[in-house]
Amino acid sequence: FLHGGFAHLLFNLFALYVLGPPLERSIGGVRFAACYLISGLASSAGVVVLTLMGLVHVAQLVGASGCIMGIVGAWAGFLLRHRHAPHAKQRLGNVLMIVAIQTAFDLSTPQVSMAAHLCGLIAGFFLGLILAPRAVAGSMTPADTD
């Protein structure tokens, strides 16, 4: 994916480095890859639809932020599905903090596509609900997924 500069690339890579591996361990590599790619496609498609509806201005978009926000959304969906697991509520609070910080950044930075971020987040949330493995009977940990 193209990025708007080295800092943009570095921030996305750092977010993926922090958020990606634990989610991949939780849902499996294939599901993680599907979540990442589908979130990116949904983010782009959502921006196109919103542009055609006249709700956002036509702009060139670069970066993997829609995919990254999809991972954030997938975490939220996963944690909501496993809300009774140890520390799930605390982790969900952390995810909501990430969303709040990203939203504040989007609102204060004119060249950032909040629409792309929100579309990726929403797609990831539903994917997280769908792709989250069920808990193993008698356990609070997800079942093996790969």
What tokens appear for 132 in the block?
């989250």
Residue (of 90, 93, 71, 89) closest to 26 by Cα position: 71
Residue 24 lies in a domain: no
Residue 140 has pLDDT above 60, yes or no: no
pLDDT digits (tens, 9 = 90+) for 10-22: 988 999 999 999 9
- Band of pLDDT at residue 1, cut at 50, 70 and 90: low
Count CB neighbours of 105 within 10 A. 12
Burial class (CB in 10 A: 0-12, 13-18, 19+), 145: middle
Residue 22 domain flag? no
In a domain, 99, yes or no: yes
Amino acid identity for residue 118 in this structure: L
CA 78 to chain centre: 11
- Asked if residue 103 belongs to a domain, the reply is yes
Encode pLDDT of 42-74 as tens digits: 999 999 999 999 988 877 777 789 999 999 999
Is residue 144 situated within a structural domain?
no
Q: Are 41 and 93 in contact (CB under 8 A)?
A: no
Enclosing domain of residue 128: 54-134
The domain total for the chain is 1
pLDDT digits (tens, 9 = 90+) for 79-138: 999 888 888 899 999 999 999 998 998 888 877 888 999 999 999 999 999 988 776 444
123 domain residue, yes or no: yes
